[in-house]
Structures are given as C-alpha cells and as structure tokens.
Structure 1
Amino acid sequence: MNLFTERVIRIIQGIPAGHVMTYGQVAAAAGSPRGARQVVRVLHSMSKKYELPWHRIINVQGGISAPANAESKGYDQRGLLEMEGIKFNEDGKVDLTVYRWFPLDGEEG
C-alpha cells in the first residue's frame, strides 16, 4: 500500500461522528491536493476492509455525490449522517461551516 493510501485511510478513520470532510480536503490532508478521485478509489475499494466511516465524506458543495433514491448508497449515506446529528438544509446540503472536520496539522486522524 502506498503512503497516500495509508494516510487517506487514517484520516477517514479519524473523522469523529457528527462531522464530515470533503474528498478534496482528505486528499490535501493526505498530501495530494489534486487527489480527490484517488480518495474515491480508496473509499470504493477499502471501506469494508478497514471499516471506514465512508458516509462522512461528501463533496465540496456539502452534498452527497451518490444518487439519493431509496435503493442507493446516497440514501444510506444521508440516513447515517442524520443518525449522527448532521442536519441537511432544504437543498439537501450539509453546512460545511458547521460540520466540516479539520484534523490538526500533522494529524492524520
């Protein structure tokens, strides 16, 4: 496993309940500011193995990237976030000024 992937895993594992990070934010914290798509790959391929709280990763607009119909991951994601106390506005977005998590400098989770 490469260093970036290890960092992404640690960062995501460190996001506390009731908080979120964006794909790009995780990538930047892991050392690759342009690596948001790689964060998606890590989530897709390693969430189960490393028990990652995948639902705490959202897009930069504060939205869920997956479709939110009843048969989708997006629907599950919103439900999991709401169970942790995260509120969605009328546009279906999370207020990042309230819920965004910032690891301390040098902290990867």
Structure 2
Amino acid sequence: MAKPGDYWGARKGGRRILRSIIGKLQTGLSVFKGVKQGYFVVVATEGWKPERFVIHLGYLNNPEFLKLLKQAEEEFGFSQEGTLAIPCRPDELHRIIGTRKL
C-alpha cells in the first residue's frame, strides 16, 4: 500500500502547482467539519457514482495525484468552493492513494 510520505520528490513544476493547491486548500479547509487537520476532501466525479475521499496532505507530492489535480484545474478551474472535484473514476483514485474500496 502506498504511503503519503513516499512521494517527497516533487518536480519544480509540481512545486508551483503544489503551492497553488495548498493555498486554495488552506482557504477552504474550514468548510470541512469532521475532517482532521492535515487532510482535505475530494470527490472522484467520473463513473456511475461520485465518491468522496479524505486525502492526507502528503499525497500532494504524489506525481499521479498531482496529474489529477492539474486535470481538475483544466476542467473545473480552482474557483471551486467546498469539496474539490477530481475528473477520474473512484477506482483510479483508490489505486493512486493505495486504498481498497469496501
């Protein structure tokens, strides 16, 4: 299973995206009641049924997860409020973050 700390080797371009994302998340984190500090909420929007995920901030260094965030920026923009929509299927996000669907 992947661990959030395994992805600390972010690229230069990824760092710019990462700073932008962290800034957006910090302004919106107070919206999520019941979400522990150091985590944020996304929804995988493709497929039969959208699925909500609580993601550790350490995954912001995962190259695959950063690619999904870039796609979200291109498709939805980062003017979203509340939960961040990610344009992928839930099973793909489960694979990236190393969890299994129950």
TM-score normalised by the shorter chain: which range applies?
under 0.3
TM-score, scaled to structure 2 = 0.24
TM-score, scaled to structure 1 = 0.23
- Give the number of the structure whose residues are more often strand, by fraction: 2
- Give the number of the structure whose residues are more often helix, by fraction: 2
